[in-house]
Structure 1
Amino acid sequence: MNNIDVTETLFATLSNYINGLIAALPRIGLALALILLTWCAVAIVRMLIGKFGRRLNLRQNLKDVFALVASTAIWLIGILIALAVVFPSITPGKALTTLGLGSVAIGFAFKDTFENFLAGILILLREPFSIGDYIEVDGHEGRIEDITIRDSRVRMTDGQLIVMPNHTLFSNPVTVRTNRDLRRTTVMCGVAYDADVDEARSVITRAVKNVETVRDDVKDVQIFAQAFGASSIDFEVTWWTGSRPIDIRTSRDQVVGAVKRALDDAGIEIPFTYQTLTFNEPLQIEQIATAQPEKAQG
Protein backbone atom coordinates (compact mmCIF):
# COMPACT_ATOMS: atom_id res chain seq x y z
CA MET A 1 0.00 0.00 0.00
CA ASN A 2 1.45 3.33 -1.02
CA ASN A 3 1.26 6.66 0.74
CA ILE A 4 -1.71 7.78 -1.33
CA ASP A 5 -3.81 4.81 -0.18
CA VAL A 6 -2.89 5.40 3.48
CA THR A 7 -3.85 9.06 3.25
CA GLU A 8 -7.15 8.23 1.60
CA THR A 9 -7.90 5.67 4.33
CA LEU A 10 -7.13 8.18 7.10
CA PHE A 11 -9.30 10.83 5.49
CA ALA A 12 -12.12 8.32 5.04
CA THR A 13 -11.93 7.26 8.67
CA LEU A 14 -11.79 10.86 9.88
CA SER A 15 -14.72 11.71 7.61
CA ASN A 16 -16.74 8.87 9.07
CA TYR A 17 -16.00 10.09 12.60
CA ILE A 18 -16.99 13.64 11.72
CA ASN A 19 -20.19 12.48 10.01
CA GLY A 20 -21.02 10.29 13.04
CA LEU A 21 -20.39 13.19 15.38
CA ILE A 22 -22.58 15.49 13.31
CA ALA A 23 -25.31 12.86 13.23
CA ALA A 24 -25.02 12.42 17.02
CA LEU A 25 -25.14 16.15 17.79
CA PRO A 26 -28.92 16.21 18.32
CA ARG A 27 -28.65 13.25 20.71
CA ILE A 28 -25.73 14.87 22.55
CA GLY A 29 -27.71 18.11 22.85
CA LEU A 30 -30.70 16.19 24.23
CA ALA A 31 -28.44 14.37 26.69
CA LEU A 32 -26.97 17.67 27.90
CA ALA A 33 -30.49 19.03 28.32
CA LEU A 34 -31.36 15.94 30.38
CA ILE A 35 -28.27 16.52 32.55
CA LEU A 36 -29.38 20.12 33.07
CA LEU A 37 -32.90 19.01 33.98
CA THR A 38 -31.41 16.46 36.39
CA TRP A 39 -29.36 19.19 38.05
CA CYS A 40 -32.50 21.33 38.41
CA ALA A 41 -34.42 18.39 39.84
CA VAL A 42 -31.69 17.75 42.41
CA ALA A 43 -31.71 21.41 43.47
CA ILE A 44 -35.51 21.39 43.84
CA VAL A 45 -35.50 18.14 45.84
CA ARG A 46 -32.78 19.45 48.16
CA MET A 47 -34.79 22.62 48.74
CA LEU A 48 -37.94 20.64 49.51
CA ILE A 49 -36.11 18.33 51.90
CA GLY A 50 -34.67 21.33 53.73
CA LYS A 51 -38.10 22.97 53.92
CA PHE A 52 -39.92 19.90 55.24
CA GLY A 53 -37.00 19.09 57.52
CA ARG A 54 -37.34 22.47 59.22
CA ARG A 55 -41.06 21.92 59.67
CA LEU A 56 -40.45 18.50 61.21
CA ASN A 57 -37.56 19.83 63.37
CA LEU A 58 -35.12 17.31 61.90
CA ARG A 59 -31.46 17.62 62.71
CA GLN A 60 -29.24 19.10 60.01
CA ASN A 61 -27.24 15.91 59.66
CA LEU A 62 -30.39 13.90 59.09
CA LYS A 63 -31.56 16.36 56.44
CA ASP A 64 -28.16 16.03 54.76
CA VAL A 65 -28.57 12.24 54.66
CA PHE A 66 -31.99 12.45 53.00
CA ALA A 67 -30.69 15.03 50.54
CA LEU A 68 -27.66 12.88 49.68
CA VAL A 69 -29.72 9.72 49.10
CA ALA A 70 -32.32 11.53 47.00
CA SER A 71 -29.68 13.40 44.97
CA THR A 72 -27.74 10.20 44.27
CA ALA A 73 -30.87 8.41 43.07
CA ILE A 74 -31.91 11.29 40.80
CA TRP A 75 -28.42 11.67 39.32
CA LEU A 76 -28.21 7.92 38.67
CA ILE A 77 -31.51 7.91 36.80
CA GLY A 78 -30.65 11.06 34.83
CA ILE A 79 -27.22 9.78 33.76
CA LEU A 80 -28.63 6.40 32.70
CA ILE A 81 -31.26 8.10 30.52
CA ALA A 82 -28.65 10.45 29.04
CA LEU A 83 -26.38 7.51 28.17
CA ALA A 84 -29.28 5.68 26.52
CA VAL A 85 -30.02 8.79 24.41
CA VAL A 86 -26.42 9.28 23.25
CA PHE A 87 -25.72 5.57 22.77
CA PRO A 88 -28.95 3.84 21.72
CA SER A 89 -27.26 0.44 21.95
CA ILE A 90 -26.80 0.95 25.71
CA THR A 91 -30.14 0.27 27.33
CA PRO A 92 -30.84 1.15 30.98
CA GLY A 93 -30.95 -2.60 31.76
CA LYS A 94 -27.46 -3.18 30.37
CA ALA A 95 -26.15 -0.11 32.17
CA LEU A 96 -27.62 -1.29 35.48
CA THR A 97 -26.11 -4.74 34.95
CA THR A 98 -22.67 -3.24 34.33
CA LEU A 99 -23.13 -0.91 37.28
CA GLY A 100 -24.13 -3.85 39.48
CA LEU A 101 -21.02 -5.83 38.59
CA GLY A 102 -18.88 -2.80 39.23
CA SER A 103 -20.62 -2.06 42.53
CA VAL A 104 -19.74 -5.54 43.80
CA ALA A 105 -16.05 -4.89 43.23
CA ILE A 106 -16.36 -1.42 44.73
CA GLY A 107 -18.23 -2.87 47.70
CA PHE A 108 -15.40 -5.26 48.52
CA ALA A 109 -12.82 -2.49 48.11
CA PHE A 110 -14.69 0.00 50.31
CA LYS A 111 -16.34 -2.40 52.75
CA ASP A 112 -15.43 -0.41 55.87
CA THR A 113 -16.51 2.86 54.27
CA PHE A 114 -19.94 1.49 53.39
CA GLU A 115 -20.32 -0.02 56.87
CA ASN A 116 -19.62 3.36 58.46
CA PHE A 117 -21.96 5.07 55.97
CA LEU A 118 -24.87 2.73 56.74
CA ALA A 119 -24.15 2.89 60.46
CA GLY A 120 -24.18 6.69 60.28
CA ILE A 121 -27.57 6.68 58.56
CA LEU A 122 -29.02 4.32 61.18
CA ILE A 123 -27.58 6.39 64.04
CA LEU A 124 -29.05 9.58 62.61
CA LEU A 125 -32.43 7.90 62.09
CA ARG A 126 -32.63 6.21 65.50
CA GLU A 127 -30.98 9.08 67.44
CA PRO A 128 -29.73 7.03 70.43
CA PHE A 129 -27.71 10.12 71.42
CA SER A 130 -27.45 13.72 70.31
CA ILE A 131 -24.78 16.35 69.82
CA GLY A 132 -23.77 17.57 73.26
CA ASP A 133 -24.34 14.24 75.03
CA TYR A 134 -21.57 12.68 77.10
CA ILE A 135 -21.02 9.05 76.13
CA GLU A 136 -18.67 6.20 76.96
CA VAL A 137 -17.82 3.58 74.33
CA ASP A 138 -14.93 1.18 73.91
CA GLY A 139 -13.08 2.68 76.88
CA HIS A 140 -13.43 6.29 75.66
CA GLU A 141 -15.57 8.89 77.39
CA GLY A 142 -16.36 12.37 76.11
CA ARG A 143 -18.83 14.82 74.64
CA ILE A 144 -20.21 14.41 71.11
CA GLU A 145 -19.37 17.46 69.03
CA ASP A 146 -20.53 16.33 65.59
CA ILE A 147 -22.15 13.34 63.87
CA THR A 148 -21.47 12.90 60.17
CA ILE A 149 -22.45 10.14 57.80
CA ARG A 150 -19.08 8.40 58.09
CA ASP A 151 -17.78 9.21 61.59
CA SER A 152 -18.51 11.05 64.81
CA ARG A 153 -16.28 13.47 66.70
CA VAL A 154 -16.03 12.94 70.45
CA ARG A 155 -14.24 15.47 72.66
CA MET A 156 -12.78 13.65 75.66
CA THR A 157 -12.91 15.19 79.12
CA ASP A 158 -9.16 15.89 78.96
CA GLY A 159 -9.62 17.99 75.80
CA GLN A 160 -8.46 15.46 73.20
CA LEU A 161 -10.58 14.87 70.11
CA ILE A 162 -11.43 11.35 68.93
CA VAL A 163 -12.71 10.83 65.39
CA MET A 164 -14.69 7.63 65.92
CA PRO A 165 -16.03 5.52 63.01
CA ASN A 166 -19.79 5.18 63.14
CA HIS A 167 -19.49 1.40 62.87
CA THR A 168 -17.77 1.42 66.28
CA LEU A 169 -20.65 3.39 67.81
CA PHE A 170 -23.24 1.17 66.17
CA SER A 171 -21.72 -2.24 66.96
CA ASN A 172 -20.49 -1.60 70.54
CA PRO A 173 -22.44 -0.88 73.72
CA VAL A 174 -22.67 2.89 74.25
CA THR A 175 -23.29 4.41 77.68
CA VAL A 176 -25.05 7.76 77.33
CA ARG A 177 -24.12 9.65 80.49
CA THR A 178 -26.45 12.59 79.87
CA ASN A 179 -29.51 10.69 78.68
CA ARG A 180 -31.29 12.25 81.67
CA ASP A 181 -30.66 15.44 83.60
CA LEU A 182 -29.84 13.62 86.85
CA ARG A 183 -27.38 10.85 87.61
CA ARG A 184 -26.71 8.92 90.81
CA THR A 185 -23.27 8.98 92.37
CA THR A 186 -21.75 7.20 95.35
CA VAL A 187 -18.84 7.60 97.78
CA MET A 188 -17.74 5.39 100.68
CA CYS A 189 -17.28 6.76 104.19
CA GLY A 190 -15.89 4.87 107.19
CA VAL A 191 -16.40 5.62 110.91
CA ALA A 192 -14.63 4.14 113.90
CA TYR A 193 -15.95 0.95 115.51
CA ASP A 194 -16.66 2.71 118.79
CA ALA A 195 -19.02 5.20 117.08
CA ASP A 196 -22.80 4.84 117.25
CA VAL A 197 -23.94 3.61 113.83
CA ASP A 198 -27.36 5.29 113.93
CA GLU A 199 -25.90 8.60 115.04
CA ALA A 200 -23.23 8.45 112.34
CA ARG A 201 -25.87 7.71 109.72
CA SER A 202 -27.94 10.72 110.84
CA VAL A 203 -24.95 13.06 110.81
CA ILE A 204 -23.92 11.95 107.33
CA THR A 205 -27.49 12.25 106.01
CA ARG A 206 -27.92 15.81 107.28
CA ALA A 207 -24.56 16.83 105.88
CA VAL A 208 -25.29 15.43 102.42
CA LYS A 209 -28.76 17.01 102.24
CA ASN A 210 -27.35 20.44 103.00
CA VAL A 211 -25.02 20.35 99.97
CA GLU A 212 -26.24 22.65 97.21
CA THR A 213 -25.58 20.27 94.30
CA VAL A 214 -27.45 17.35 95.91
CA ARG A 215 -30.94 17.05 94.36
CA ASP A 216 -32.73 15.58 97.37
CA ASP A 217 -35.87 17.41 96.21
CA VAL A 218 -36.12 14.94 93.32
CA LYS A 219 -34.47 11.77 94.63
CA ASP A 220 -33.88 10.73 98.23
CA VAL A 221 -30.41 10.63 99.74
CA GLN A 222 -29.58 7.03 100.68
CA ILE A 223 -27.08 6.13 103.41
CA PHE A 224 -26.42 2.44 104.13
CA ALA A 225 -24.00 0.77 106.51
CA GLN A 226 -22.47 -1.60 104.02
CA ALA A 227 -19.60 -3.58 105.52
CA PHE A 228 -17.22 -4.20 108.42
CA GLY A 229 -13.98 -2.76 107.16
CA ALA A 230 -10.47 -3.44 108.40
CA SER A 231 -10.65 -0.56 110.86
CA SER A 232 -14.06 1.06 110.31
CA ILE A 233 -17.75 0.60 109.70
CA ASP A 234 -18.14 1.51 106.02
CA PHE A 235 -21.15 3.54 104.87
CA GLU A 236 -22.34 3.73 101.26
CA VAL A 237 -23.38 7.36 100.63
CA THR A 238 -25.60 7.76 97.55
CA TRP A 239 -27.29 10.85 96.12
CA TRP A 240 -28.45 12.38 92.82
CA THR A 241 -26.92 15.34 91.03
CA GLY A 242 -26.35 16.66 87.48
CA SER A 243 -25.39 14.14 84.82
CA ARG A 244 -22.37 15.90 83.27
CA PRO A 245 -18.91 14.76 84.38
CA ILE A 246 -18.14 18.19 85.84
CA ASP A 247 -21.40 17.99 87.84
CA ILE A 248 -20.39 14.63 89.29
CA ARG A 249 -16.89 15.76 90.25
CA THR A 250 -18.10 19.02 91.77
CA SER A 251 -20.81 17.35 93.81
CA ARG A 252 -18.46 14.66 95.11
CA ASP A 253 -16.00 17.31 96.21
CA GLN A 254 -18.70 19.21 98.11
CA VAL A 255 -20.21 16.09 99.70
CA VAL A 256 -16.86 14.73 100.90
CA GLY A 257 -16.00 18.10 102.46
CA ALA A 258 -19.42 18.46 104.11
CA VAL A 259 -19.37 14.93 105.56
CA LYS A 260 -15.85 15.38 106.92
CA ARG A 261 -16.77 18.64 108.66
CA ALA A 262 -20.01 17.20 110.07
CA LEU A 263 -18.30 14.11 111.51
CA ASP A 264 -15.54 16.23 113.02
CA ASP A 265 -18.10 18.56 114.65
CA ALA A 266 -20.00 15.55 116.04
CA GLY A 267 -16.79 14.02 117.45
CA ILE A 268 -17.08 10.92 115.28
CA GLU A 269 -13.72 9.60 114.14
CA ILE A 270 -12.88 8.76 110.53
CA PRO A 271 -10.12 6.27 111.36
CA PHE A 272 -6.86 5.58 109.66
CA THR A 273 -6.01 2.00 108.85
CA TYR A 274 -5.05 0.23 112.09
CA GLN A 275 -2.55 -2.63 112.23
CA THR A 276 -2.12 -5.06 115.10
CA LEU A 277 1.26 -6.76 115.53
CA THR A 278 1.36 -10.17 117.29
CA PHE A 279 4.60 -11.72 118.61
CA ASN A 280 5.02 -15.35 119.62
CA GLU A 281 7.30 -14.49 122.57
CA PRO A 282 7.16 -11.61 125.05
CA LEU A 283 9.22 -8.64 124.06
CA GLN A 284 11.99 -7.46 126.33
CA ILE A 285 12.06 -3.71 126.63
CA GLU A 286 15.33 -2.16 127.66
CA GLN A 287 15.75 1.41 128.73
CA ILE A 288 18.92 3.08 127.57
CA ALA A 289 19.99 5.87 129.84
CA THR A 290 21.25 8.95 128.16
CA ALA A 291 24.37 10.48 129.57
CA GLN A 292 23.88 13.96 130.99
CA PRO A 293 26.54 16.48 129.87
CA GLU A 294 28.80 17.59 132.71
CA LYS A 295 28.55 21.14 133.83
CA ALA A 296 31.51 23.25 132.97
CA GLN A 297 33.59 24.18 136.02
CA GLY A 298 34.29 27.83 136.37
Structure 2
Amino acid sequence: MNYFDTLSKEIEGMAKGFIQLLPSLAIAVLVLVATWIMARVVVRIIGRVTQRANLRTDLQQLTETITKLAVWIVGALIAMTVAIPSFTPAGAFASLGVGALAIGFAFQDIFENFLAGVLIMLREKMNIGDSIKCNGLTGKVERITLRETYVRQFSGELTVMPNSMLFKNPVEILTDQHLRRNEVIVGVSYDTDLDQARAIIESALQTVEAIDAEKGTVVFAQAFGASSIDFLVQWWNDTSIQDLRLTRSQVIFAVKAALDDAGIEIPFPYVTNTFKEPLRMERPKALEQHGAA
Protein backbone atom coordinates (compact mmCIF):
# COMPACT_ATOMS: atom_id res chain seq x y z
CA MET A 1 0.00 0.00 0.00
CA ASN A 2 1.35 3.38 -1.03
CA TYR A 3 0.65 5.59 2.00
CA PHE A 4 1.83 8.71 0.22
CA ASP A 5 -0.72 8.32 -2.59
CA THR A 6 -3.50 7.60 -0.08
CA LEU A 7 -2.62 10.72 1.92
CA SER A 8 -2.44 12.82 -1.23
CA LYS A 9 -5.89 11.65 -2.33
CA GLU A 10 -7.36 12.44 1.08
CA ILE A 11 -5.87 15.93 1.10
CA GLU A 12 -7.03 16.49 -2.48
CA GLY A 13 -10.55 15.39 -1.56
CA MET A 14 -10.61 17.69 1.45
CA ALA A 15 -9.42 20.59 -0.70
CA LYS A 16 -12.12 19.94 -3.33
CA GLY A 17 -14.75 19.68 -0.61
CA PHE A 18 -13.59 22.97 0.92
CA ILE A 19 -13.66 24.68 -2.48
CA GLN A 20 -17.17 23.36 -3.10
CA LEU A 21 -18.16 24.64 0.35
CA LEU A 22 -16.83 28.16 -0.25
CA PRO A 23 -20.07 29.54 -1.80
CA SER A 24 -22.06 28.22 1.17
CA LEU A 25 -19.55 29.73 3.61
CA ALA A 26 -19.75 33.07 1.82
CA ILE A 27 -23.54 33.00 2.03
CA ALA A 28 -23.32 32.07 5.74
CA VAL A 29 -21.01 35.06 6.36
CA LEU A 30 -23.47 37.32 4.54
CA VAL A 31 -26.26 35.91 6.73
CA LEU A 32 -24.25 36.75 9.86
CA VAL A 33 -23.61 40.29 8.60
CA ALA A 34 -27.31 40.69 7.84
CA THR A 35 -28.08 39.35 11.33
CA TRP A 36 -25.78 41.94 12.88
CA ILE A 37 -27.48 44.75 10.94
CA MET A 38 -30.92 43.36 11.71
CA ALA A 39 -30.11 43.10 15.44
CA ARG A 40 -29.05 46.76 15.58
CA VAL A 41 -32.15 47.93 13.72
CA VAL A 42 -34.54 45.84 15.80
CA VAL A 43 -32.90 46.95 19.06
CA ARG A 44 -33.29 50.60 18.06
CA ILE A 45 -36.96 50.05 17.23
CA ILE A 46 -37.53 48.23 20.52
CA GLY A 47 -35.70 51.00 22.38
CA ARG A 48 -37.98 53.66 20.92
CA VAL A 49 -41.08 51.61 21.70
CA THR A 50 -40.03 51.01 25.31
CA GLN A 51 -39.19 54.70 25.79
CA ARG A 52 -42.63 55.71 24.53
CA ALA A 53 -44.15 53.13 26.87
CA ASN A 54 -42.28 54.78 29.79
CA LEU A 55 -40.75 51.52 30.94
CA ARG A 56 -38.06 51.50 33.61
CA THR A 57 -34.45 51.67 32.44
CA ASP A 58 -33.66 48.14 33.60
CA LEU A 59 -36.72 46.74 31.78
CA GLN A 60 -35.66 48.57 28.63
CA GLN A 61 -32.22 46.98 28.86
CA LEU A 62 -33.74 43.54 29.48
CA THR A 63 -36.08 43.85 26.48
CA GLU A 64 -33.27 45.00 24.20
CA THR A 65 -30.95 42.21 25.38
CA ILE A 66 -33.54 39.46 24.89
CA THR A 67 -34.47 40.85 21.45
CA LYS A 68 -30.83 40.98 20.37
CA LEU A 69 -30.24 37.44 21.66
CA ALA A 70 -33.29 36.09 19.80
CA VAL A 71 -32.23 37.71 16.51
CA TRP A 72 -28.70 36.31 16.82
CA ILE A 73 -29.95 32.80 17.64
CA VAL A 74 -32.18 32.77 14.55
CA GLY A 75 -29.41 34.21 12.36
CA ALA A 76 -26.82 31.74 13.66
CA LEU A 77 -29.13 28.78 13.00
CA ILE A 78 -29.76 29.98 9.44
CA ALA A 79 -26.02 30.48 8.84
CA MET A 80 -25.22 27.00 10.18
CA THR A 81 -27.91 25.46 7.98
CA VAL A 82 -26.50 27.20 4.91
CA ALA A 83 -22.85 26.41 5.68
CA ILE A 84 -23.46 22.78 6.70
CA PRO A 85 -26.24 21.19 4.63
CA SER A 86 -26.51 18.22 7.00
CA PHE A 87 -27.13 20.54 9.96
CA THR A 88 -30.69 20.97 11.18
CA PRO A 89 -31.95 22.87 14.25
CA ALA A 90 -33.88 19.80 15.41
CA GLY A 91 -30.75 17.68 15.23
CA ALA A 92 -28.76 20.34 17.14
CA PHE A 93 -31.27 20.39 19.99
CA ALA A 94 -31.44 16.60 20.04
CA SER A 95 -27.66 16.30 20.20
CA LEU A 96 -27.42 18.49 23.29
CA GLY A 97 -28.59 15.77 25.68
CA VAL A 98 -25.96 14.91 28.27
CA GLY A 99 -23.74 17.70 26.98
CA ALA A 100 -26.27 20.31 28.04
CA LEU A 101 -26.44 18.75 31.49
CA ALA A 102 -22.66 18.84 31.85
CA ILE A 103 -22.55 22.45 30.67
CA GLY A 104 -25.29 23.31 33.15
CA PHE A 105 -23.26 21.96 36.07
CA ALA A 106 -20.07 23.64 34.84
CA PHE A 107 -21.70 27.05 34.45
CA GLN A 108 -24.15 26.82 37.34
CA ASP A 109 -23.09 30.13 38.87
CA ILE A 110 -23.35 31.93 35.53
CA PHE A 111 -26.85 30.59 34.88
CA GLU A 112 -27.87 31.42 38.44
CA ASN A 113 -26.73 35.03 38.09
CA PHE A 114 -28.38 35.24 34.66
CA LEU A 115 -31.75 34.09 36.00
CA ALA A 116 -31.41 36.33 39.05
CA GLY A 117 -30.69 39.28 36.76
CA VAL A 118 -33.83 38.63 34.73
CA LEU A 119 -35.97 38.39 37.88
CA ILE A 120 -34.40 41.54 39.36
CA MET A 121 -35.18 43.48 36.19
CA LEU A 122 -38.75 42.19 36.09
CA ARG A 123 -39.66 43.16 39.64
CA GLU A 124 -40.78 46.69 40.35
CA LYS A 125 -38.42 47.48 43.21
CA MET A 126 -34.71 48.35 43.08
CA ASN A 127 -34.31 50.36 39.92
CA ILE A 128 -31.33 52.16 38.47
CA GLY A 129 -30.65 55.26 40.58
CA ASP A 130 -31.93 53.75 43.84
CA SER A 131 -29.79 53.80 46.97
CA ILE A 132 -29.59 50.34 48.52
CA LYS A 133 -27.99 48.50 51.40
CA CYS A 134 -27.10 44.81 51.17
CA ASN A 135 -24.61 42.69 53.11
CA GLY A 136 -23.06 45.75 54.75
CA LEU A 137 -22.61 47.57 51.42
CA THR A 138 -24.43 50.86 50.88
CA GLY A 139 -24.50 52.75 47.61
CA LYS A 140 -26.36 53.83 44.49
CA VAL A 141 -27.33 51.42 41.71
CA GLU A 142 -25.71 52.61 38.47
CA ARG A 143 -26.29 49.67 36.14
CA ILE A 144 -28.04 46.30 36.10
CA THR A 145 -26.96 43.63 33.62
CA LEU A 146 -27.99 40.01 33.21
CA ARG A 147 -25.05 38.80 35.31
CA GLU A 148 -24.10 41.57 37.72
CA THR A 149 -25.14 44.87 39.24
CA TYR A 150 -22.91 47.94 39.53
CA VAL A 151 -23.28 49.77 42.85
CA ARG A 152 -21.46 53.05 43.46
CA GLN A 153 -20.72 53.39 47.17
CA PHE A 154 -21.26 56.76 48.80
CA SER A 155 -17.51 56.92 49.46
CA GLY A 156 -16.87 56.77 45.69
CA GLU A 157 -15.85 53.14 45.12
CA LEU A 158 -17.62 51.08 42.46
CA THR A 159 -18.66 47.58 43.57
CA VAL A 160 -19.71 44.89 41.09
CA MET A 161 -22.14 42.53 42.84
CA PRO A 162 -23.36 39.19 41.44
CA ASN A 163 -27.09 39.27 40.83
CA SER A 164 -27.57 36.11 42.90
CA MET A 165 -26.29 37.98 45.98
CA LEU A 166 -28.90 40.71 45.55
CA PHE A 167 -31.62 38.17 44.85
CA LYS A 168 -30.92 35.82 47.78
CA ASN A 169 -30.16 38.36 50.50
CA PRO A 170 -32.36 41.07 52.03
CA VAL A 171 -31.94 44.40 50.25
CA GLU A 172 -32.85 47.69 51.93
CA ILE A 173 -34.02 50.22 49.33
CA LEU A 174 -33.28 53.54 50.99
CA THR A 175 -34.94 55.63 48.29
CA ASP A 176 -38.15 53.63 47.96
CA GLN A 177 -39.96 56.49 49.73
CA HIS A 178 -38.71 60.05 50.03
CA LEU A 179 -40.39 60.55 53.40
CA ARG A 180 -38.24 58.82 56.03
CA ARG A 181 -38.06 58.74 59.82
CA ASN A 182 -34.98 59.44 61.87
CA GLU A 183 -34.28 59.63 65.59
CA VAL A 184 -31.81 60.70 68.27
CA ILE A 185 -31.48 59.98 71.98
CA VAL A 186 -31.39 63.03 74.27
CA GLY A 187 -30.39 62.60 77.91
CA VAL A 188 -31.23 65.03 80.72
CA SER A 189 -30.08 65.00 84.34
CA TYR A 190 -32.12 63.24 87.00
CA ASP A 191 -33.12 66.44 88.78
CA THR A 192 -34.79 67.83 85.63
CA ASP A 193 -38.53 68.43 85.36
CA LEU A 194 -39.37 65.86 82.67
CA ASP A 195 -42.55 67.61 81.48
CA GLN A 196 -40.60 70.82 81.01
CA ALA A 197 -37.76 69.02 79.18
CA ARG A 198 -40.20 67.28 76.84
CA ALA A 199 -41.97 70.55 76.03
CA ILE A 200 -38.66 72.29 75.32
CA ILE A 201 -37.53 69.48 73.00
CA GLU A 202 -40.84 69.54 71.12
CA SER A 203 -40.58 73.31 70.70
CA ALA A 204 -37.03 72.97 69.41
CA LEU A 205 -38.17 70.46 66.78
CA GLN A 206 -40.74 72.92 65.48
CA THR A 207 -37.95 75.32 64.57
CA VAL A 208 -36.43 72.86 62.08
CA GLU A 209 -38.09 73.57 58.73
CA ALA A 210 -37.07 70.27 57.11
CA ILE A 211 -39.24 68.23 59.53
CA ASP A 212 -42.55 67.14 58.00
CA ALA A 213 -45.31 68.89 59.95
CA GLU A 214 -48.08 66.50 58.87
CA LYS A 215 -46.30 63.44 60.24
CA GLY A 216 -45.46 65.25 63.45
CA THR A 217 -42.79 64.44 66.00
CA VAL A 218 -42.44 62.00 68.89
CA VAL A 219 -40.72 62.73 72.21
CA PHE A 220 -40.88 59.86 74.70
CA ALA A 221 -39.03 59.26 77.96
CA GLN A 222 -37.38 56.00 77.08
CA ALA A 223 -35.06 54.73 79.80
CA PHE A 224 -33.19 55.40 83.03
CA GLY A 225 -29.60 55.79 81.91
CA ALA A 226 -26.44 55.51 83.97
CA SER A 227 -26.23 59.28 84.42
CA SER A 228 -29.38 60.62 82.71
CA ILE A 229 -33.00 60.02 81.82
CA ASP A 230 -33.07 59.38 78.07
CA PHE A 231 -35.67 60.78 75.70
CA LEU A 232 -36.39 59.16 72.34
CA VAL A 233 -36.83 61.92 69.76
CA GLN A 234 -38.26 60.94 66.36
CA TRP A 235 -39.30 62.93 63.29
CA TRP A 236 -40.00 62.57 59.55
CA ASN A 237 -38.43 64.53 56.72
CA ASP A 238 -38.50 64.49 52.93
CA THR A 239 -35.08 63.28 51.74
CA SER A 240 -35.75 64.54 48.21
CA ILE A 241 -35.69 68.09 49.60
CA GLN A 242 -32.93 67.78 52.18
CA ASP A 243 -30.44 65.09 53.14
CA LEU A 244 -31.38 63.01 56.16
CA ARG A 245 -28.02 63.63 57.82
CA LEU A 246 -28.34 67.41 57.50
CA THR A 247 -31.78 67.35 59.11
CA ARG A 248 -30.42 65.22 61.95
CA SER A 249 -27.63 67.75 62.50
CA GLN A 250 -30.13 70.63 62.59
CA VAL A 251 -32.25 68.77 65.15
CA ILE A 252 -29.24 68.20 67.41
CA PHE A 253 -28.23 71.86 67.17
CA ALA A 254 -31.75 73.06 67.93
CA VAL A 255 -32.32 70.72 70.88
CA LYS A 256 -28.91 71.50 72.41
CA ALA A 257 -29.47 75.26 72.15
CA ALA A 258 -32.99 75.04 73.61
CA LEU A 259 -31.87 72.95 76.60
CA ASP A 260 -28.93 75.27 77.25
CA ASP A 261 -31.22 78.32 77.22
CA ALA A 262 -33.53 76.60 79.74
CA GLY A 263 -30.61 75.69 81.99
CA ILE A 264 -31.24 71.96 81.59
CA GLU A 265 -28.07 69.92 81.81
CA ILE A 266 -27.18 67.17 79.35
CA PRO A 267 -24.91 65.13 81.61
CA PHE A 268 -21.81 63.30 80.57
CA PRO A 269 -22.27 59.54 80.45
CA TYR A 270 -21.11 57.76 83.57
CA VAL A 271 -17.97 55.81 82.76
CA THR A 272 -16.54 53.27 85.18
CA ASN A 273 -12.81 53.05 85.73
CA THR A 274 -11.66 50.03 83.82
CA PHE A 275 -8.03 50.30 84.89
CA LYS A 276 -7.06 48.07 87.79
CA GLU A 277 -3.92 47.76 89.79
CA PRO A 278 -1.72 44.75 89.07
CA LEU A 279 -2.60 41.72 91.12
CA ARG A 280 -0.24 40.93 93.97
CA MET A 281 0.58 37.33 94.70
CA GLU A 282 0.06 36.50 98.36
CA ARG A 283 1.95 33.76 100.12
CA PRO A 284 -0.19 31.01 101.54
CA LYS A 285 -0.59 31.16 105.32
CA ALA A 286 0.90 27.69 105.69
CA LEU A 287 4.15 28.89 104.12
CA GLU A 288 4.18 31.99 106.32
CA GLN A 289 3.77 29.86 109.42
CA HIS A 290 6.47 27.48 108.21
CA GLY A 291 8.82 30.39 107.60
CA ALA A 292 8.07 31.85 111.04
CA ALA A 293 8.83 28.51 112.62
With the length of structure 1 as denominator, give the TM-score of the two structures: 0.79
Matched, 1:229 2:218: no
Going from structure 1 to structure 2, the CA distance change for 1:159 and 1:74 (only over 3 Å counts) comes to closer
Runs of 4+ in 1 over 6 A off after TM superposition: none
The gaps in structure 1 that reach 5 residues or longer are: 277-298
Does 1:179 pair with 2:176? yes
* Counterpart for residue 282 of structure 1: none
Q: How does 1:92-103 map to 2 (within 5 A)?
A: 92-99=89-96, 101-103=98-100
Contact map agreement 1:80 1:95 (CA 8 A) in 2: no
Letter in 1 for 2:93: L
- For 2:265, what is the secondary structure of its paired residue? coil
Structure 2 counterpart of 1:254: 250
Q: Which residue of structure 2 lines up, in the alignment, with residue 90 of structure 1?
A: 87
Task: Provide the rounded CA distance (Å) in 2 between the counterparts of 1:158 and 1:18.
Answer: 62
Letter aligned with residue 239 of structure 1: W
1:131 aligned residue = 128
Determine the structure 2 residue equivalent to 1:119. Answer: 116
- CA change 1:272–1:111 in 2 (3 A) is same
Q: Tell me the secondary structure at the aligned position of residue 75 of structure 1.
A: helix
Alignment of 1:25-44 (within 5 A): 25=22, 27-44=24-41
For structure 2, which runs of at least 5 residues remain unmatched after alignment? 273-293
CA displacement at 1:274 relative to structure 2: 6.0
Q: Deviation of residue 182 (structure 1)?
A: 1.7
1:266 lines up with 2:262 in the alignment? yes
Counterpart residue number, 2:200: 203
What fraction of aligned residue pairs are identical, expressed as a percent?
Answer: 48
CA RMSD of aligned residues (A): 2.8
Aligned pair in 2 of structure 1 residues 67, 90: CA closer, same or farther (>3 Å)? same
Matched with 1:155 is 152
The alpha carbon displacement at 1:262 in A equals 0.7
Report Cα offsets for 1:21-75 as digits up to 9, x if no partner: 4544554454444434433432332122112111112344433322222222232
How far 1:172 sits from its partner (Å)? Answer: 0.5
Cα distance change of structure 1 residues 135 and 39 upon mapping to structure 2, 3 Å threshold: closer
- What TM-score does the superposition give when structure 2 sets the normalisation length? 0.80
